[in-house]
Structures are given as structure tokens and as C-alpha cells.
Amino acid sequence: MQKGSALILVMIAVMIMSTIVMGLLNVGTTEIRTPQDQLLKKKAFYHALLGLEVVIDQARFLEDPSQVPTAKVTTSIEADRTIKSYYIGNMATGEEKISHLSELQAPSPVGISLSYKSDFFTAMYRVPMVAEVATANGKSTTFSEIEAGILVLLKN
């Protein structure tokens, strides 16, 4: 063996071992990050449903449901260290008002026959909803976008 060849062999062995260790560490952090991302996606979906329920509750008491405020609502949860927000709209265009679905014929109100003249009528509205959930440290953020049709009872 020539002088210094042992040093070169040791350096090559250390580089190979370092590469293996770095690969294992990467796999380990991916295995931790994937369930966390799935949990955030689930939280975003359910937060979008919560926002939809809030909008339905607000629309119920307005003469024109399209006047429900579209502003972003943000909450911070200390227990699970996440920041959650939702708004009426979609991810492509941003905030958007609730729109009347005039092309769909809403069913008549329950308990009122078709021949009975009533002061009330039903209308269908389209509600697009976006929710965002981020970890408190800001390292991970996920979104959920849903769209729902709501049936509203309105007075003539």
C-alpha cells in the first residue's frame, strides 16, 4: 500500500456511510411529515364545513342571502397549535359572494301544497367555501375548497 491510500479509503467509506445516514434521516422525516399533512388536510376540510354551517346560519336570517359577509374569519387554536381560517369564495379568484342559482327550480316549502298561495318561497344559492389550516410555526399549510348548494326559505 502506498502512503495516504488508507486515508483515501477511510474518506470514501465515511462518504458512503454519510450518504446512507442522510437517506435514512430523510425517510424518517417524510414518515413523520406525511401523517401530519393528512391531519392538516382533514382539519381544513372540517373547518370548511364549519364555515359553511356559519354561512347557512347567517343566510337564514337575511332577506337576500347573497349579502352574507365574505371576509376571511381566522381562529387560533392553542390546544392543537394551528391557525385556521375560512372565507366565502374559491382559491382561484379569492373572495366571492353567494350567488342565486336561478337555473335550478327549488322545491316548494315543506308542508305547503302546490296549489296553496303562500307568502313564502324557496330559493337555491351556491356557496363556495375555502378553508386554510396552518401550523403555528408556519412550516406547513393546507387548504380545502368545497362548494355547496343551500335551500333558503324567503318571504315574498
pLDDT in tens, 42-83: 989 998 999 999 888 888 788 888 888 888 888 877 777 888
Average pLDDT over residues 19-31: 79
The C-alpha atoms of residue 140 and residue 81 are separated, in whole angstroms, by: 12
Instruction: Give how many domains the chain has, as a whole number.
Output: 1
Per-residue pLDDT tens digits for 107-129? 766 666 555 666 777 888 888 99
Average pLDDT over residues 131-137: 87
Cut 0.85: pTM above it:
no
Domain that holds residue 81: 5-155
Sign of CA dihedral 94, 99, 103, 104: positive
Average pLDDT over residues 95-114: 74
Q: What is the pLDDT of residue 111?
A: 63
